[in-house]
């Protein structure tokens, strides 16, 4: 499979047994220094210990089942974080600086939070079983996702409504709203027999209209056509017609390719229409603020939950891989962007021996993966099996 560059800064969350550290040395510090050298990292800040607490362990069967459940939740949590970022991009119109500023976790830039990660024991008690922690994290993330989806849907409806209102005011006289153009004095008001009809006439047809409108139907008031306004394409006329002839008059106008505008003056309706845009704008702005607030909170909390889930996943996989009692060191590594693939190869070359017969050496002495050696573990490992515990974290 061809290598695909990550969509954001990439980190490796790695767990190795304490036994890989040199004898007599502080294992954590020794491993950090060793990884920095092995991967030729440009900065000492690109590798650091990632502290993971010890959790309550049940049976091996429970751990294997939890491993599958956590892997599924990992993908789901990442999707929630990704969707949240998509929403932030949408509400900020793709402005990268504003999106980046919105992506904070515990009031810190997201990479700062990741590098200084500490398990939130007050929120996620480590004396709880792993299954209960997974349930707590999942409920939190899915509730956040659901709430954000609802508010974002409402915002999009309000945004579309505002767009529709605005489009009514930017079309030509044959289609646009007329409430901000016509006046009460343009209409015959309160007559039992007469009614004012509005007609948008193409400029090329004005002479034809003036010559013919009085004879379209028998009961048109002579010389009643008045120009209310004009634009680049149309003249808007008012014509006074006896009420019983209005339907036929409108039909004849359409046959002549003139555009009747079905508009009747009503003080209350006109006032409501004038307020329509203001109301639509106010609603769109109010919901925009709600989406921004909730999206920022959802990103912060779901990303935090995701990294806590990663911690549990590393712990479970380390116990399954390295055995009991838990004795491993977890570190966070940021490989150079230009050598992400090389970093993975270098790690495999150095620690591939941890996989036993799952990895062997080729004729040149390089560590290579031996798929046949994985068959006996096929029920608990997948095709992405590595010689040691390693997971990618892409900062979305």
- Per residue of the chain (396 residues), what is the pLDDT tens digit? 444 566 789 999 999 999 888 776 788 888 888 899 889 898 888 999 999 999 999 888 999 999 999 999 999 999 999 999 999 999 999 999 999 999 999 999 999 999 999 999 999 999 999 999 999 999 999 999 999 999 999 999 999 999 988 887 788 999 888 888 899 999 999 999 999 999 999 999 999 999 999 999 999 999 999 999 999 999 999 999 999 999 999 999 999 999 999 888 887 777 777 788 889 999 999 999 999 999 999 999 999 999 999 999 999 999 999 998 999 999 999 998 888 888 988 998 898 888 765 444 454 544 444 544 434 444 444 446 688 999 999 999
The 3-state DSSP class for residue 199 equals strand
Distance between CA atoms of 74 and 278, rounded to whole angstroms? 44
Residue partners of 17: CB distance under 8 A and separation at least 6: 322, 327, 328, 329, 354
- HEC sequence for 128-181: CEHHHHHHHHHHHHHHHHHHHHHHHHHHHHHHHHHHHHHHHCCCCCCCCCCCCC
Buried b (16+ CB within 10 A) or exposed e, 223-251: ebbeebeeeeebbbbbbbbbeebbeebbe
Reduced to 3 states (helix: H, G, I; strand: E, B; else coil), residue 330 is strand
- The position carrying tokens 């055995």 is 323
Q: Parallel, antiparallel, or unpaired: how do β-strands 194-202 and 234-242 relate?
A: antiparallel
Non-local (6+) Cβ contacts of 123 within 8 A are none
Let me know: does 205 contact 189? Beta carbons within 8 Å. no
CB-neighbour burial class of residue 205 (10 A; exposed 0-12, middle 13-18, buried 19+): middle
Answer whether 0.85 is exceeded by the pTM: no
C-beta separation of 389 from 348 below 8 A: no
Q: How far apart are CA 334 and CA 108, in angstroms?
A: 18
Alpha-carbon gap, residue 38 to 25, rounded angstroms: 18
357, 364 contact by CB (below 8 A): no
Q: Using the 8-state DSSP alphabet, how is residue 189 labeled?
A: -
Give the integer Cα–Cα distance in Å for 395 and 70. 19
- Which CATH number is associated with domain 184-264? 3.30.70.100
Cα–Cα dist 90/86, whole Å: 6
Q: 132 is written with which tokens?
A: 């209960």
The values of phi and psi at residue 249, to 5°, are -60, -45
Tokens describing residue 356: 């036993």
Query: Could you give the CA distance from residue 335 to residue 47 in angstroms, rounded to a whole number?
Result: 9
The span from the CA of 264 to the CA of 187, in Å, is 8
Query: Can you tell me the distance from the alpha carbon of 215 to that of 222, in angstroms, rounded to the nearest whole number?
Result: 9
């Amino acid at each position: 499979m061809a290598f695909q560059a990550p969509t954001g800064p990439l980190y490796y969350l790695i767990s190795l047994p304490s036994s890989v550290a040199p004898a007599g040395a502080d294992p954590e510090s020794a491993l950090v220094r060793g990884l920095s050298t092995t991967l030729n990292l440009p900065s000492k800040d690109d590798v650091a210990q990632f502290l993971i607490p010890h959790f309550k362990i049940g049976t091996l069967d429970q751990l294997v089942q939890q491993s599958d459940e956590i892997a599924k939740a990992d993908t789901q949590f990442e999707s929630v974080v990704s969707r949240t970022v998509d929403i932030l991009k949408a509400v900020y119109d793709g402005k990268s600086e504003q999106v980046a500023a919105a992506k904070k976790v515990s009031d810190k830039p997201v990479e700062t939070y990741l590098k200084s990660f500490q398990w939130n024991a007050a929120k996620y008690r480590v004396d709880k079983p792993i299954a209960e922690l997974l349930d707590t994290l999942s409920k939190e993330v899915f509730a956040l996702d659901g709430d954000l989806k609802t508010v974002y849907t409402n915002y999009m409806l309000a945004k579309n409504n505002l767009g529709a209102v605005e489009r009514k005011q930017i079309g030509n006289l044959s289609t646009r709203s007329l409430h901000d153009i016509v006046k009460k004095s343009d209409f015959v008001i309160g007559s039992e027999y007469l009614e004012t009809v509005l007609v948008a006439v193409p400029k090329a047809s004005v002479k034809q209209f003036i010559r013919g409108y009085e004879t379209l139907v028998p009961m048109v008031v002579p010389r009643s056509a008045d120009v209310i306004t004009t634009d680049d394409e149309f003249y808007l006329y008012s014509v006074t017609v006896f009420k019983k002839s209005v339907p036929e008059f409108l039909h004849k106008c359409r046959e002549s390719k003139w555009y009747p505008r079905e508009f009747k003056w009503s003080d209350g309706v006109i006032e409501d229409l004038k307020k329509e845009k203001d109301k639509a704008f106010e609603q769109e702005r109010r919901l925009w603020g709600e989406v921004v607030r909730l999206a920022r909170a959802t990103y912060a909390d779901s990303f935090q939950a995701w990294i806590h889930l990663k911690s549990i996943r590393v712990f479970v996989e380390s116990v399954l891989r390295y055995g009991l009692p838990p004795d491993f060191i977890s570190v966070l590594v940021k490989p150079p962007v230009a050598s992400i693939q090389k970093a993975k190869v270098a790690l495999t070359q150095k620690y591939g021996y941890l996989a036993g017969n799952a990895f062997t050496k080729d004729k040149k002495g390089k560590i290579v993966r031996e798929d046949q050696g994985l068959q006996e573990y096929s029920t608990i490992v997948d095709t992405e099996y590595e010689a040691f515990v390693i997971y990618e974290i892409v900062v979305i």
